[in-house]
Amino acid sequence: MSIEFEGMGDGVFVVTLNRPERLNALDAAHKQALADIWRQAEARDEVRALVMRGAGPRAFSAGSDFKAMKETGGTVGTDVLANAIPSVGVELTKPVVAALHGYVIGFGLTLAIHCDLRIAGPDARLSFPEVEHGMLSGISDITLPGLVGEAAALEIMLTGRAYSAEEAQAIRLVNRIAADPYAEALALARTLAGNSFHANRLTKRLVLAERRATIVRHIQEVAQARLDIAESSRHASILDAAGAQPRARLD
């Protein structure tokens, strides 16, 4: 499995998305592996803080592996997706710092915004391009307004455009910019790991209480939206294969 989970000492553990040849894009098995990592991290007392990063020079993560999705004929279920995202399906009370560089796209950006703190390199480019491909980021649609506000969230989601690190910092999509985001993230994680173990966990639980409750309230709506968008895509493909031009399409 090309997701690594290793201790760095001082209570800090690093989760590395290690598929640089695929820009760290993730298939169904990788998403299930992430869920297992979050469960381990929550259960093990020696884990006090985490850093999440992508291997290679080009990307934190290019999101879901669309090649694998085409081969398997579909996406993972909403429950699998939620469990793969830190602090969503699996409650994770240990702080997580994202070290972002290069492409941070789609599900890659979903992972990033559900980490507790985000440090971006100057080369980071962040986007949710799903609408350009007739898709959506349902759980992030719920979370993003709480981070950047409703107007900014709508612009990010509906335009699909890429944001530079500076633009992302200006709208609070990232916390800070650093020349070496991984080194900065490790230093921050060590600081967090040195704080009171129980105070860290209870503070994070309280800060995220409303976000978690909101996701729980709307998770069935997210699941239905994902089904609707998949059905729309299948319908459009049938019409295209028949040589017809649909009057309305979601992509």
CA distances (Å), 163 to each of 39, 151, 194, 207, in order?
32, 15, 33, 26
In the predicted structure, residue 127 carries a pLDDT above the cut 50: yes
pLDDT score for 239: 40
Give the model confidence (pLDDT) of 157-199 as tens digits. 999 999 999 999 999 999 999 999 999 999 999 999 999 999 9
pLDDT score for 233: 64
Question: CB count, 10 Å around CB of 67?
Answer: 11
Q: Considering all CA atoms of the chain, what is the largest pairwise distance in Å, rounded to the nearest integer?
A: 64
pLDDT score for 246: 34
* Region of poorest pLDDT, from 35-44, 102-111, 230-239, 242-251: 242-251
Segment 132-143 mean pLDDT:
93
Segment 46-67 mean pLDDT:
95
The yes/no answer on whether domain 3-199 falls in CATH 3.90.226.10 is yes
pTM given for the model: 0.91
Give the model confidence (pLDDT) of 70-122 as tens digits. 766 667 899 999 999 999 999 999 999 999 999 999 999 999 999 999 999 99
For 232, residues 6+ apart whose C-beta sits below 8 A from its C-beta are 134, 249, 250, 251
In the predicted structure, residue 217 carries a pLDDT above the cut 90: yes
Nearest CA to 147 out of 121, 169, 129 is that of 169
> Any idea which residues carry the catalytic annotation?
130
